[in-house]
Amino acid sequence: MSDSPAIEVRGLKVRLGGKPILKGVNLEVRQGDLYGLLGRNGAGKTTAMRCLLGYLPYQGGSCKVLGVDSPRIHQVAKPYGVALDPPGMDDTLTLRQNLEVAWIRGGIRGGRTVSEALDLVGLSHRQNNRGDRLSHGQGRRAAVARALLGSPELLVLDEPLSGLDPEGVERMLALFAELTQSAGVTIVLSSHHLREVEHVCNRVGLIEDGITLLEGEVPELLASAGDGLRIRSANADGVAKILQGLPSVLPEITTVGAETSVRVAPGFDAAAALTKLVEEGLGVEEFAREGASLVDVFHQALEKDKQSSEEAA
């Protein structure tokens, strides 16, 4: 496997109708990654993906897929699959016919067949349904099945989890993990489902308002966010006051009713903190330490970006 990135984006800027949509997107997807392009709806994820695939021009920066500038993506030598939002199924054809047309138009000569792709996404029983008879979530899975045809070494999937029920989300994430781990397929998927993807993606990039806030290995990002501490007590304000004076407690403390939540840095002495709270007679009923999630990482990145903007103003 080559050491060069599968996807490399530097300083990507896009204006549509004179309005800046992407203001500085930086991404590096390594070969073999299961990479999550994450952010809220409207953050710029779909625009970035369309630039990657050569569907949208960009006014600044660079964008490469498998070593080829995205406007010349048709010159990429390796097979790749794409599932966009919306799925783009022909409503006059059955699901099977849609995939058969894609097989022919793509000039595919081997690898994963239509039947195999449908089976992987759990839609074999819907293969004779017309495109307009598929639910929103089924349409998403159908687009992924089409992307899986042949032997793609790279998959670019835009919101493949949108509209899926919990069982469907679990099935698709398990499929993506299997493709990466067993077949070495590089996968880039965009999503606003941060909690769901953090357990399968090895790397993520977080986008907000057209800018990459941060990017990195998931375990490292979670470690940098610090653990969470949740305390239920008879005196939440008193707990918050004590926590403010303890070392390794991060500044933002949230109090809702009887519950106090805070993030703590590595080295935080939980036993000493609990002892202090009990000695102060604050009526501690629950004291729980919780690991950080990508949601915590995202919120911290937003807060840091906000503070930087205020300092620059």
What's the Cα-to-Cα distance from 225 to each of 168, 204, 208, 228, 290, rounded to whole Å?
Answer: 29, 14, 18, 9, 12
- Helices 270-279 and 236-244 sit at what angle, rounded to 10 degrees? 130
Give the full edge-to-edge strand order of the sheet including 284-290.
249-256, 259-264, 227-233, 284-290
Q: What is the pLDDT of residue 85?
A: 81
Q: What is the pTM of this model?
A: 0.87
CA–CA distance, 23 with 37 (Å, rounded to integer) = 16
CA–CA distance, 232 with 287 (Å, rounded to integer) = 7
- Helices 95-105 and 136-148 sit at what angle, rounded to 10 degrees? 30
> Which domains are seen in the chain, by residue range?
7-222 (3.40.50.300), 227-291 (3.30.70.100)
DSSP calls for 65-114: ETTEEGGGGGG--S-EEEE-SS----TTSBHHHHHHHHHHHTT--SSB-H
For residues 260 and 231, the answer to whether their CB atoms sit within 8 Å is: yes
Q: What is the pLDDT of residue 280?
A: 93
Burial of 262 per CB tally in 10 Å (0-12, 13-18, 19+): buried
84 contacts: CB under 8 Å, gap ≥ 6: 49, 50, 143, 158
- Per-residue pLDDT of the chain (313 residues), as tens digits, is 567 899 999 999 999 988 999 999 999 999 999 999 999 889 999 999 999 999 999 999 999 999 999 999 999 989 999 998 888 899 999 999 999 999 999 999 899 999 999 999 999 999 999 999 999 999 999 999 999 999 999 999 999 998 899 999 999 999 999 999 999 999 999 998 888 889 899 999 999 999 999 999 999 999 888 888 999 999 999 999 999 999 889 878 889 999 999 888 878 899 999 999 999 999 999 999 888 889 888 888 888 888 777 777 6
Residue with tokens 């590595």: 266
Residue with tokens 């994430």: 173
Kindly state the DSSP code that residue 217 receives in the 8-state scheme: E
CA–CA distance, 253 with 243 (Å, rounded to integer) = 8
Secondary structure element (H or E) that encloses residue 52, with its range:
helix 45-52
Tokens of 18: 């004179």
For residues 190 and 155, the answer to whether their CB atoms sit within 8 Å is: no
For residues 48 and 36, the answer to whether their CB atoms sit within 8 Å is: no
Q: What is the pLDDT of residue 224?
A: 84
DSSP calls for 270-308: HHHHHHHHHHTT--EEEEEEE---HHHHHHHHHHHHHHH
